Amino acid sequence: MEHKYVALKVLKNCSMNELKVRVWKSLVQSKSFLEILENAIKKYHNKILTAAV
């Protein structure tokens, strides 16, 4: 019976580690997407401002 709990604990630890890695990757990807989006908006506004002058 004790082996069941050890196996469950190992599985839980592995799952938590995998989840942390996936969350980190997602966070990094969303930050890079946000930077790309912000840069695109800045370029858009700059073109509008230069075209209006």
pLDDT digits (tens, 9 = 90+) for 1-52: 566 678 878 888 888 888 888 888 888 888 888 888 888 888 888 877 666 5
pLDDT of residue 15: 87
Distance, in Å, from the CA atom of 34 to the CA atom of 31, rounded to the nearest integer, reads 5
Q: Which two tokens stand for residue 24?
A: 């980190």
* pLDDT the model gives residue 50: 64
Q: How far is 48 from 23, CA to CA, in rounded Å?
A: 37
Place of tokens 């196996």: 7
User: Is the full-model pTM beyond 0.85?
Assistant: no
d(CA 29, CA 13): 24
